[in-house]
A and B are shown apart, each in its own frame.
Chain A
Amino acid sequence: MTDTARYSTRIDEATGNKIIATERDGEPYDFIIGSDPDGTDIWQRVPYEADDYGPVADPSTDFDHADPAYNPTAPEVWKELREGGCPVAHSDRYGGMWVPVTDDTVTEVAYDTENFTSRAVVVGVGRPGDRSLPAPIGGAPPITSDPPFHNVARRLLLPAFAPKMIEPWEPEIQRLCQKLLDEMGEITPGESVIDAAVQYAQNIPVNVIGRMLGFPEKDEELFRQFVHDVLERINEEPGTREGEDDLGLYIQAQIDDHRANPREDLTSYLMNVELDGNKLDDAVVGGMVVLLLVAGIDTTWSAIGSSLWHLAQHPEDHQRLLDDPEVMTFALEEFLRAYAPVTMARLVAKDNDFHGCPMKKDDWVLLPFPAANRDPRKFEDSDSFIVDRAENRHAAFGLGIHRCLGSNLARLELKVAIEEFIKRFPRFELAGDTRWSVGQIRGPRELPVRILEVAD
């Protein structure tokens, strides 16, 4: 893989589209930035009838992760599919979608960047054609990039998220968590009910990534709305998700503000970094910022929420963490394995036969790493949470070249969020219905818990 893939940008005068000239398979290759709904090379819509997106009866032939019934019971769905002899489910929804649910099939797709492209990673009723970066504003490199451009984009971001750059954030995140706990006000043990998702988990990652990017803290609710529109409203009428366009406009405004008022943050770094002597196009900077916001918010929030949902029901694990804080090293990975929040996606790059599945170019392939993490062929007692599981090669952060860029930050936020919560509230239990997210990121969106004990 080369680090010096060709990279330059120009405007196509005929269409006004921006062109990013790079290379693929050693040949010059132009990506087109634009979202012309009629241009099949650039953006394809799949035939859409809202009625086709109703409740799922049989997930093996009509799988839909955006059925609100899916996320609350997903581990049971994966188990049924595996035990029913269906390692790869199918659906006609979204223009055609395949869903591997075993460790070996998920792993195989993740490693195969020839047959499966990352051009789009969030399944929806539209999909980018093969000469485009997806809208809005030029995709979200490197998560939406294939080799060799992938490596170019990824190496720009990796240093900012390397372990030694992330470690110093620990005291900041501790302070943030303590502040959120303080803001819950007077707690009466045995009576007070708080929402651990809304009042706690959802506020942590959005604050940290907003500060890293140098965006105004007051806009946190806005980021969450953008992310909701991008990730959860995937089966709605095309063109109705205003948040997608608003997100592009918002980020361009932030880039403009950084240009007018330069400062030390990740946005400024991306605006100033050079590739082959060229600064990055605003669209590429914006795409990377989209990635950091979208990938950095719902995901970690979901992992924190799911972990607290587990602890509310398993006081023995909670107690073990309090008695033996060292066990957190293993517990953290077990939370990530058992409650991995992120399912990725690919598009089929060329027709291929995948273990008997006739995959056609441009079919979606859902990539549920959380299902792979529950495969009994890889993990002993895979549906049990074992707080000190010592061997744990989980794939919560993906496998292969697209390993989650923010994994070190996510891990730190998850660890600190759990530590601070259980330290403050040594006992708590579920108090009512948990509401789960919809779509590829799985976690509680409302998590009422009754506080049974408050630390002095």
Chain B
Amino acid sequence: MRVHLDAEKCQGHNRCYALAPELFDVDDYGQALLIVEVDVPAELHDKARLAASNCPEYAITITENG
């Protein structure tokens, strides 16, 4: 699994960091940062999908088997 974060779309809602802190961090302005981009461990797949499906700006996408 691969996670994509579109930094242009991110407006700092902070939903991904709250739901999946193992995969996302936030910078000093509250903008999301991706910690794990490729080869997301299997045990974090659900969290990755949860983060993607709760982003109000549709800034996170997931590529399965990518």
Is A392 an interface position by the 8 A CB rule? Answer: yes
Count chain B residues whose beta carbon lies closer than 8 angstroms to a beta carbon of A: 20
Contact A159 B28 (CB under 8 A): yes
Asked whether B19 lies within 8 Å of A329 as measured between CB atoms, the reply is: yes
Contacting residues, chain B, for A393 (C-beta < 8 A): 53-56, 58
Q: Mark A331-344, 1 if CB is under 8 A from B, else 0.
A: 00100000000000
Q: Is A318 close to B, CB under 8 A?
A: no
Query: Contacts of A374 on B, CB cut-off 8 Å?
Result: none
Q: A159-B29, A393-B53 are in contact. Are A403 and B12 (CB under 8 A)?
A: yes
In Å, the complex CA distance between A408 and B13 comes to 8
CB of B30 within 8 A of CB of A158, answer: yes
Report B-chain residues with C-beta under 8 Å of the C-beta of A158.
Answer: 12, 28-30
Per the bound structure, the CA–CA distance linking A411 and B28 in Å amounts to 18
Chain A residues near B15: list those with CB within 8 A. 333
Whole-angstrom distance between the Cβ of A266 and the nearest chain B Cβ: 16
A376 at the interface (CB under 8 A from B): no
Give how many A-B residue pairs fall within 8 Å (CB-CB): 53
- Asked whether B14 lies within 8 Å of A391 as measured between CB atoms, the reply is no
Given contacts A158-B12, A403-B12, A408-B30, contact A163 B17 (CB under 8 A): yes
B14, A394: Cβ atoms under 8 Å?
Answer: no
Q: Does A309 contact B (CB under 8 A)?
A: no
* Chain A residues, CB < 8 A from B17: 163
Given A401-B11, A403-B13, residue A162 in contact with residue B29 (CB < 8 A): yes
Q: Give the contact-size bracket for chain A.
A: 20 to 34
**Is A189 positioned at the interface, with any CB of B under 8 Å from its CB?**
no
Q: Which of A389-443 contact B (CB under 8 A)?
A: 390-395, 397, 399-401, 403, 407-408, 411
- C-alpha spacing A100/B34, complex, angstroms: 35
Interface pair B26/A164, CB less than 8 Å apart? yes
User: How close is B36's CB to chain A, nearest CB, in angstroms?
Assistant: 19
Asked if B44 lies at the interface with its beta carbon under 8 angstroms from chain A, I say: no
Q: Are A407 and B14 in contact (CB under 8 A)?
A: yes
- The answer to whether residues A391 and B26 also contact, given A163-B17, A400-B11 and a CB cut-off of 8 A, is no
Closest to B15 in A: A333
For residue A169, CB closer than 8 A to chain B, the reply is no
Q: For B26, list chain A residues within 8 Å (CB).
A: 162-164
The residues of A with any CB-CB pair to B shorter than 8 Å are 155, 158-159, 161-164, 329, 333, 390-395, 397, 399-401, 403, 407-408, 411
Which residues of B are interface residues toward A (Cβ below 8 A)? 11-15, 17-19, 26-30, 50, 53-58
Other A-B contacts than A390-B50, A393-B55, A397-B13, 20 sampled, CB-CB below 8 A, are: A158-B28, A159-B28, A159-B29, A162-B12, A163-B26, A163-B30, A164-B28, A329-B19, A391-B53, A391-B54, A393-B53, A393-B54, A394-B56, A395-B56, A397-B56, A403-B11, A403-B13, A407-B13, A408-B14, A411-B14
Q: List 16 A-B contacts (CB under 8 A).
A: A155-B29, A161-B30, A163-B14, A390-B53, A391-B53, A392-B54, A393-B55, A393-B58, A397-B56, A399-B11, A400-B11, A401-B11, A403-B12, A407-B13, A408-B14, A408-B30
